[in-house]
């Protein structure tokens, strides 16, 4: 089964509305001839609707960085899946390590969010990854196993047909340290076999598994050359359209 690569930019808490719109339009112009690859950007909640409107009809797809699992109600400060859908959002990043680390996200809340996303037709990008200590203690696979099994608990292959996994080793995020080719290769192979064990061969072969953690124009080609790497989730290097396009066009 062929998996169309996805190169996604997570803009985290960067850019005001006008800055986000400008970068998105610049990127859409630079991407106008890109083929055979999906491009997505995830601006802040505040900018997402304007950004979506400004790149409508272009090659650039829109993601959100989080959602709340309830449909609506007295949940001050939260945003629902329906609200994101109405703003033309297609993807939603769930369980990013920064949300786990700073905002109390757990595998249980991640699971509820994945369910909410799939029910409304948003494509979930489930982020998983071990800390430096966990890697040193050789707990990487155990941690990933738990994050995937608990994060997707109670969901079936049908509901997960648009699932994307993003392996983001915490120690490689924003540090300039990239996991080695062997480390990424081992983990991505492991994740695909885990999906097969937990769900089905079909789901395992159709699910895109992205790598994230200090992806840059200089290392993207090697990373994308790994068999089970189907794209990248890029933080810092996605903030500048000229830099990000060099990642997106790694193959040209």
Residues that bind ligand 13P (CB under 6 A): 10, 96, 168, 173-174, 212-215, 233-237
> In angstroms, what is the minimal distance from the CB of 187 to ligand 13P?
15
C-beta of 38 vs 168, nearer to ligand 13P: 168
C-beta of 179 vs 195, nearer to ligand 13P: 179
User: What separation in angstroms does the CA of 160 have from each of 111, 191, 205, 238?
Assistant: 12, 15, 12, 27
d(CA 17, CA 14): 10
- Packing angle of the helix pair 241-248, 17-30 (nearest 10 deg): 40
Count CB atoms within 10 A of the CB of residue 236: 18
d(CA 103, CA 19): 26
Q: Which two tokens stand for residue 201?
A: 């061969």
C-beta of 168 vs 228, nearer to ligand 13P: 168
d(CA 202, CA 211): 21
Please pick, among 96, 98, 130, 188, the residue that the annotation labels catalytic. Answer: 96
Please pick, among 38, 105, 130, 168, the residue that the annotation labels catalytic. Answer: 168
Would you call 96 a catalytic residue per the annotation?
yes
Residue nearest to ligand 13P (CB): 235
> In angstroms, what is the minimal distance from the CB of 239 to ligand 13P?
9
C-beta of 112 vs 216, nearer to ligand 13P: 216
> In angstroms, what is the minimal distance from the CB of 99 to ligand 13P?
10
Place of tokens 């009809």: 57
The catalytic site residues sit at: 96, 168
């Amino acid at each position: 089964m062929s998996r169309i690569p996805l190169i996604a930019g997570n803009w985290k808490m960067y850019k005001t509305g006008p800055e986000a719109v400008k970068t998105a339009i610049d990127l859409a112009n630079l991407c106008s001839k890109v083929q055979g690859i999906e491009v997505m950007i995830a601006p802040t909640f505040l900018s997402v609707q304007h950004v979506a409107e400004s790149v409508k009809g272009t090659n650039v797809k829109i993601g959100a960085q989080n959602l709340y699992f309830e449909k609506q109600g007295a949940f001050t400060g939260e945003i629902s899946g329906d609200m994101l859908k109405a703003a033309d959002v297609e993807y939603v990043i769930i369980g990013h390590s920064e949300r786990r680390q700073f905002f109390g996200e757990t595998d249980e809340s991640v699971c509820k969010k994945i369910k909410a996303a799939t029910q409304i037709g948003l494509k979930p990008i489930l982020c998983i990854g071990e800390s430096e200590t966990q890697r040193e203690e050789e707990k990487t696979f155990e941690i990933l196993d738990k994050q995937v099994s608990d994060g997707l608990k109670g969901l079936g292959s049908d509901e997960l047909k648009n699932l994307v996994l993003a392996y983001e080793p915490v120690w490689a995020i924003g540090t300039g340290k990239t996991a080695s080719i062997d480390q990424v290769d081992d983990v991505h192979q492991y994740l695909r076999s885990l999906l097969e064990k937990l769900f089905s061969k079909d789901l395992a072969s159709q699910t895109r598994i992205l790598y994230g953690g200090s992806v840059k124009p200089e290392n993207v080609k090697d990373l994308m050359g790994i068999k089970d790497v189907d794209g990248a989730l890029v933080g810092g290097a996605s903030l500048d359209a000229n830099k990000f396009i060099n990642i997106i066009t790694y193959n040209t």
